[in-house]
């Protein structure tokens, strides 16, 4: 394999279009920390972001390798092509790439542990383990219908609250609320993905929520994730930050298009556009939240 081909494969396997789920919680955690305290440590924020992205990319590679080996991502996949399932790279090669990025996460995490101590160890060790445990190991979460819970917990609550803690050394209630919104919007991505791949997943024993409970339930989950994330914006009013609720506006607008899509479109390649809309929804939520904090 030539160097150019390898780079192209690595970029493909890293799934750059999904990285908003790793970027947004660290982005907004830093913004919220600055709003609450007036302080911001750029170096700690950079290490946090790089660590989070390394964990997500490692998870993507492990997911590619394990799903490809189990037959979940073959040539007939309706979503983007995968390295292992198509034979572009071997199982061992893709796993190796995952280990490289996981090592990067350990390096960046070491700096965070030096700055904030044992709480970072308690956050870091489960995060590193579940990068593989999401689809691999004796109890793969994605194969047990726990994918959405994993995303809400780790890409929402833990990522946002952890970022705020790294910046401030505290665990404010505002971080819990923001973590819930970010986690739910990130879960929309995995829910749409699982809805699209329901038949393929069922064929290989990948028991996602869409497989376990059917298409109506899968659509209802996406509806619930979007609606709860949007209406949590009202809670900012109660907490004394009414303008923060404006970040829910893109969620209402784009979310309605996603909901309409999953209610009217049969699962297939058309869901790739819904995934793109889900990523845009998440980024616009972050942009508006940041804009409101910056201007007010």
Q: State the chain's mean pLDDT as an integer.
A: 90
pLDDT at 3: 66
Give the integer Cα–Cα distance in Å for 89 and 256. 38
Most confident range (mean pLDDT) of 78-87, 163-172, 193-202 is: 163-172
Give the integer Cα–Cα distance in Å for 39 and 60. 33
Residue 286 structure tokens:
């972050």
Residue 185 lies in a domain: yes
Residue 8 lies in a domain: no
28 compared with 78, residue with greater pLDDT: 28
The pLDDT of 198-212, averaged and rounded, is 90
pLDDT at 249: 95
Residue 6 lies in a domain: no
Q: Which domain holds residue 175?
A: 18-295
Inform me whether the pLDDT recorded for 260 exceeds 80. yes
pLDDT at 84: 83
pLDDT at 82: 78
Residue 201 lies in a domain: yes
What CATH number has the domain bearing residue 97?
Answer: 1.10.600
Which alpha helices (H) appear in 19-117, and where do they start and end?
20-37, 42-70, 91-116
Residue 9 lies in a domain: no
Neighbours of 145 (CB within 10 A): 17
Residue 78 lies in a domain: yes
Looking at the 3D structure of the chain, how many domains does it have? 1
Contact 186, 21 (CB under 8 A): yes
The pLDDT of 144-149, averaged and rounded, is 92
Least confident range from 77-81, 84-88, 136-140: namely: 77-81
Residue 180 lies in a domain: yes
The pLDDT of 130-148, averaged and rounded, is 88
Instruction: State pTM to two decimals.
Output: 0.92
Residue 13 lies in a domain: no
> How many alpha carbons lie under 13 Å from residue 253 in its C-beta half-sphere?
10
112 CB-contact burial (10 Å; exposed 0-12 / middle 13-18 / buried 19+): buried
């Amino acid at each position: 394999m030539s160097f150019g081909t390898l780079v192209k494969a690595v970029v493909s396997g890293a799934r750059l279009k999904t990285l908003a789920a790793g970027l947004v919680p660290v982005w907004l955690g830093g913004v919220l920390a600055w709003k609450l305290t007036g302080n911001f440590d750029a170096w700690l924020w950079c290490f946090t972001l790089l660590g989070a992205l390394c964990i997500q990319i490692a998870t993507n590679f492990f997911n590619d390798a394990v799903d490809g080996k189990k037959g979940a991502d073959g040539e007939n996949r309706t979503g983007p092509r995968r390295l292992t399932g198509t034979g572009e790279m071997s199982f061992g090669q893709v796993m190796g790439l995952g280990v490289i990025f996981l090592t990067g996460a350990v390096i960046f995490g070491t700096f965070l542990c030096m700055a904030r101590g044992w709480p970072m160890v308690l956050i870091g060790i489960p995060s590193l383990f579940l990068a593989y445990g999401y689809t691999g190991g004796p109890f793969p979460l994605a194969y047990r219908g726990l994918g959405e819970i994993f995303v809400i917990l780790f890409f929402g609550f833990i990522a946002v609250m952890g970022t705020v803690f790294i910046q401030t050394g505290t665990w404010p209630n505002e971080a819990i609320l923001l973590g819930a919104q970010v986690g739910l919007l990130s879960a929309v991505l995995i829910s749409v993905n699982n809805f699209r791949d329901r038949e393929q997943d069922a064929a290989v024993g990948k028991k996602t929520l869409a497989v376990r409970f059917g298409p109506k339930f899968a659509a209802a989950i996406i509806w619930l994730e979007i609606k709860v994330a949007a209406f949590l914006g009202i809670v900012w009013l109660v907490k004394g930050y009414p303008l923060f609720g404006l970040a829910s506006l893109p969620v209402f607008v784009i979310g309605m298009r996603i909901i309409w899509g999953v209610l009217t479109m049969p699962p297939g390649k058309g869901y790739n556009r819904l995934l793109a809309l889900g990523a845009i929804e998440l980024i616009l939520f972050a942009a508006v939240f940041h804009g409101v904090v910056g201007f007010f």
